[in-house]
Chains A and B, each alone.
Chain A
């Protein structure tokens, strides 16, 4: 790439002192403030930042596609040398057709649901003015280029007949069809499974080499950006606060915000018993807020009077830039949350709380049966966290809902709570049993009644589950609110007046109202920003140590699972493929599926990881493969035995079970040998 940059010095995309505002309620609210950035030809530039910082507005401004209430206050945008703001309608259309392409977050919405894939891709060539005869062949070739195995049959299908990853490939094919000089990817893998994400990212990397397009890569996921981009810009409150070569930004940040953001992530295998995550106090300034000084000053522990009153310039620090008065002090930013836990998470020898034996769940009837969960047995100890991982469709959520009694399991299985059988459905459980198993839902917007105040939401739970009334209820309500770090001021508010993180705290407070024994956490932080996620994870760890509650944690983010979990169960097509103590599952030997999951996750620390890629999609649970259910995608498949016989759960260690025909010792060998990167990583951690 380097030589391309040198031979063509002109930038592919250039923002010059750009300010954009949205008109809301009759007032202009600044979204982008004086933003300047340059993307060289052939360069991949990553833009990171939390939600609400203006990332998507950057993308929309680049192609002059702001919503109706959006307006460019000042500055200019140049795409491939052309001033985007000055173009007339035809020139703008040509620009959008030929020079720049966009790929959005949700491919299901970007594709027209009523047009077959073939015609949809061919449409791009129609816009480019190709004769009708050529369009279909070009579409076919394009789909082949994005590694779609059977383009002819995919072209005949409608978008809803394709999986999310496949849809995103089609969207990328359409984006690259016109051979654009600039490709804008706005959260292209958010919402995809990590295995699919890895495939899409690999594809983009390969195509970048092939097509030589410049890339603007927008993401909230720092690790993804670190993997994909040459240079990174950190956006905060519509301002570029730091910019520079990817590696230097992530290893030696010079702006306190970047420093703080990187500290919020559980990294390098950090666990809850090793201490709390750092957090960022306060909240992002709202769009249109008046910011005379540094936008981050209010939340920055090393800010002084100068930071509050005087906006720092984007200072050149030798090939990199930081908008900070004291860039050399940034790394010394003190922690916002002490690392030491108030009450440490120590695992004592405990009794089992939940015993699950041979539980299955089949949906549908007659010929069309889908086995969502198949013969799962496990034990949950008091005060421990069991992490459930697996791609979507692996049965994690169904399993959790069976524990809660929302979904009754098939007859034959057995769930015991404290040694007493737990009725399959909620209606037959005793009040004590219902109280004992509660949940924190994934999406607080759905989980909290938007018509009710916080006091009512949490108070009602205390009344029903803890049986409290009057003054006693008020006392406990205050205690609970304080325990989740909310203040009495929040009690009179409704969910829509709270930020995502505060909402999730309310949901957590509610789930703890009846002193539960087990709380199911279903992707508790997936709707939250990094800085908020850290605070919620800390809270969950803390509540666990003070209440001795057990968690069943469902998450697609392995970093979070590793941080919070004592044991981990890996599910595939409703079956447990591997179960064991967290560290053993992460360090191996792994089940080949776990190995693939681990290698799919882009990592901020170890970029030289092994690359085991799963091909194809998770098979339908209605028609699982014979023998070992994973054999159809297994990179370490032995042969006939995998297709005919389902392997038992073999012991790698007495606590660590792996459902594979390959003996654990050999798995360990296989996984160590080509994989020095992972070993380095482990060594780095232990040192």
Chain B
């Protein structure tokens, strides 16, 4: 019995220990923390002003002076590479949070009430998910005009259905458990049962799913920027830089695109590794 007394924080400790044992989680955290640090403090350390143009030194090859070379406007690519995560690391997480909030609420409602609302909403979700996210996002942005807020709202809404589906399927099995019947037998209302009784128990799969969604959001924002509908110049955003320079590859100026592409890939991989580690530790 004495072992029980010391146990209240055991669950959290256990979880933390499992995460720290997971190699993929640690690797992911290191990568993502690196980019967050770059976004927050990068501009104090970069060798050049990421926005400073130097036409005389345009398209310089990687060298000791410019580690990753320069772009057509003569801006230092290494400096832009380091600070390029700033916008994407605010837009993508905010979009994910928005999508998670809306998706969780919808998933709880449809999973708990079932019936006709569930049928209609679920079919709508499926139809929505059948359409490519980027096309939907493009249409919305064209209709609403380009801004960071629009991108956040559009990507958030686009991700809500998949979160909602994850939550719904978890709720479907939870609502059959006896603690829900017990709550009804003490006259709890539906909102209490959904948000106070069921929600805490469906959080693990939600956490995993929204981390996966975050990596898609990063990818989505980068794609929108690349297509010219996301972040706008002169932001040093990676997708935007690739978009501005990809025509140069044919001319042999590979360095104008490669490093930004690698940056996007590493961030996406980092987030996915975290999701993988969480999945293992939460067993969701």
Known A-B contacts A449-B197, A449-B201, A496-B11; A464 and B184 likewise in contact (beta carbons under 8 Å): no
* Beta-carbon contact of B201 and A450 below 8 Å: yes
B131 at the interface (CB under 8 A from A): no
* Most chain A Cβ neighbours within 10 Å, of B10, B14, B177: B177
Bound form: Cα–Cα A205–B185 in Å: 47
CB interface residues, A 137-179, toward B, < 8 Å: none
| A441 CB contact (under 8 Å) in B8, B14, B178, B201 | B178
Contact digits for A411-453, partner B, Cβ 8 Å, 1 yes 0 no:
0000000000000001000010010001101010011111110
Known A-B contacts A434-B185, A464-B186, A492-B8; A286 and B3 likewise in contact (beta carbons under 8 Å): yes
Question: Chain B: which residue is nearest A463 at the CB level?
Answer: B186
Contact digits for B182-201, partner A, Cβ 8 Å, 1 yes 0 no:
10111110000000010011
Question: Chain B: which residue is nearest A444 at the CB level?
Answer: B178
Contact digits for B158-197, partner A, Cβ 8 Å, 1 yes 0 no:
0000000000000000000111011011111000000001
B33 at the interface (CB under 8 A from A): no
**Chain B residues within 8 Å of A513, by CB:** 186
Size bin of chain A's contact surface: 20 to 34
**Chain A residues within 8 Å of B179, by CB:** 446-449
CB interface residues, B 1-46, toward A, < 8 Å: 1, 3-5, 7-8, 10-11, 14, 17
* Beta-carbon contact of B201 and A451 below 8 Å: yes
A215 to chain B: closest CB distance in Å?
A: 37
* Beta-carbon contact of A494 and B178 below 8 Å: no
| A451 CB contact (under 8 Å) in B4, B7, B200 | B200
Known A-B contacts A446-B177, A497-B10; A464 and B188 likewise in contact (beta carbons under 8 Å): yes
CB interface residues, A 379-436, toward B, < 8 Å: 404, 406, 426, 431, 434
Question: Chain B: which residue is nearest A434 at the CB level?
Answer: B187
Bound form: Cα–Cα A465–B187 in Å: 8
Bound form: Cα–Cα A283–B2 in Å: 11
A504 to chain B: closest CB distance in Å?
A: 12
A68 at the interface (CB under 8 A from B): no
Contact digits for A553-570, partner B, Cβ 8 Å, 1 yes 0 no:
000000000000000000
| A497 CB contact (under 8 Å) in B4, B186, B187 | B4
**Chain A residues within 8 Å of B188, by CB:** 464
Bound form: Cα–Cα A488–B4 in Å: 13
Question: Chain A: which residue is nearest B186 at the CB level?
Answer: A464
**Chain B interface helix/strand/loop/mixed:** helix
* Beta-carbon contact of B187 and A406 below 8 Å: no
Known A-B contacts A449-B197, A449-B201; A465 and B178 likewise in contact (beta carbons under 8 Å): no
A489 at the interface (CB under 8 A from B): yes
| B1 CB contact (under 8 Å) in A25, A283, A452 | A283
* Beta-carbon contact of B182 and A447 below 8 Å: yes
A55 at the interface (CB under 8 A from B): no
* Beta-carbon contact of A431 and B178 below 8 Å: no
A256 at the interface (CB under 8 A from B): no
A514 at the interface (CB under 8 A from B): yes
**Chain A residues within 8 Å of B187, by CB:** 431, 434, 464-465
A460 at the interface (CB under 8 A from B): yes
Contact digits for A666-678, partner B, Cβ 8 Å, 1 yes 0 no:
0000000000000
| B5 CB contact (under 8 Å) in A446, A464, A489, A498 | A489
**Chain B residues within 8 Å of A498, by CB:** 4
Size bin of chain B's contact surface: 20 to 34
* Beta-carbon contact of B7 and A493 below 8 Å: yes
Bound form: Cα–Cα A464–B183 in Å: 10
| A406 CB contact (under 8 Å) in B14, B184, B201 | B184
A41 at the interface (CB under 8 A from B): no
A439 to chain B: closest CB distance in Å?
A: 7
Question: Chain B: which residue is nearest A404 at the CB level?
Answer: B185
Give how many A-B residue pairs fall within 8 Å (CB-CB). Answer: 65
Bound form: Cα–Cα A236–B14 in Å: 28
* Beta-carbon contact of B4 and A493 below 8 Å: yes
Bound form: Cα–Cα A76–B17 in Å: 35
Bound form: Cα–Cα A404–B181 in Å: 10
**Chain B residues within 8 Å of A514, by CB:** 186
**Chain B residues within 8 Å of A286, by CB:** 3
* Beta-carbon contact of A441 and B182 below 8 Å: yes
**Chain B residues within 8 Å of A448, by CB:** 179
Question: Chain A: which residue is nearest B201 at the CB level?
Answer: A451
Known A-B contacts A283-B1, A431-B187; A497 and B182 likewise in contact (beta carbons under 8 Å): no
Bound form: Cα–Cα A335–B251 in Å: 93
* Most chain A Cβ neighbours within 10 Å, of B4, B185, B201: B185
Known A-B contacts A25-B17, A447-B179, A450-B201; A465 and B11 likewise in contact (beta carbons under 8 Å): no
Question: Chain B: which residue is nearest A431 at the CB level?
Answer: B187
* Beta-carbon contact of A406 and B1 below 8 Å: no
A102 at the interface (CB under 8 A from B): no
Bound form: Cα–Cα A465–B184 in Å: 11
**Chain B residues within 8 Å of A439, by CB:** 181-182, 185
CB interface residues, B 225-267, toward A, < 8 Å: none
Bound form: Cα–Cα A438–B187 in Å: 12
| B11 CB contact (under 8 Å) in A438, A489, A494 | A494
* Beta-carbon contact of B186 and A460 below 8 Å: yes
Bound form: Cα–Cα A332–B17 in Å: 48
A510 at the interface (CB under 8 A from B): yes
A53 at the interface (CB under 8 A from B): no
Bound form: Cα–Cα A461–B179 in Å: 12
Known A-B contacts A25-B17, A426-B184; A497 and B7 likewise in contact (beta carbons under 8 Å): yes
* Beta-carbon contact of B186 and A446 below 8 Å: no
Known A-B contacts A449-B197, A464-B188, A514-B186; A493 and B178 likewise in contact (beta carbons under 8 Å): no
**Chain A residues within 8 Å of B5, by CB:** 489
B10 to chain A: closest CB distance in Å?
A: 7
Known A-B contacts A489-B5, A496-B11, A497-B4; A406 and B181 likewise in contact (beta carbons under 8 Å): yes
Bound form: Cα–Cα A497–B3 in Å: 10
**Chain B residues within 8 Å of A282, by CB:** 1
**Chain B residues within 8 Å of A496, by CB:** 11
**Chain A residues within 8 Å of B17, by CB:** 25
* Beta-carbon contact of A446 and B178 below 8 Å: yes
Bound form: Cα–Cα A498–B1 in Å: 10
Bound form: Cα–Cα A434–B186 in Å: 7
Bound form: Cα–Cα A448–B197 in Å: 10
A314 to chain B: closest CB distance in Å?
A: 28
* Beta-carbon contact of B8 and A493 below 8 Å: yes
| A426 CB contact (under 8 Å) in B10, B178, B185, B197 | B185
**Chain B residues within 8 Å of A452, by CB:** 197, 200
* Beta-carbon contact of A438 and B185 below 8 Å: yes
**Chain B residues within 8 Å of A443, by CB:** 178
**Chain B residues within 8 Å of A460, by CB:** 186
A484 to chain B: closest CB distance in Å?
A: 16
Bound form: Cα–Cα A648–B84 in Å: 85
B residues within 8 Å of A by Cβ?
1, 3-5, 7-8, 10-11, 14, 17, 177-179, 181-182, 184-188, 197, 200-201
A-B contact sample (11 more), CB < 8 A, given A406-B181, A460-B186, A493-B8: A25-B14, A404-B181, A426-B185, A431-B187, A441-B182, A446-B177, A449-B179, A449-B201, A451-B201, A464-B187, A492-B8
Give me the 7 closest cross-chain CB pairs, A-B, nearest first: A451-B200, A447-B178, A464-B186, A441-B178, A449-B179, A446-B178, A446-B177
Selected A-B contacts with CB under 8 Å, 29 pairs: A25-B14, A25-B17, A282-B1, A406-B181, A406-B184, A431-B187, A434-B186, A434-B187, A438-B185, A443-B178, A446-B177, A446-B178, A446-B179, A449-B179, A449-B197, A449-B200, A452-B200, A460-B186, A461-B186, A464-B187, A465-B187, A493-B4, A493-B8, A497-B4, A497-B7, A497-B10, A498-B4, A510-B182, A513-B186
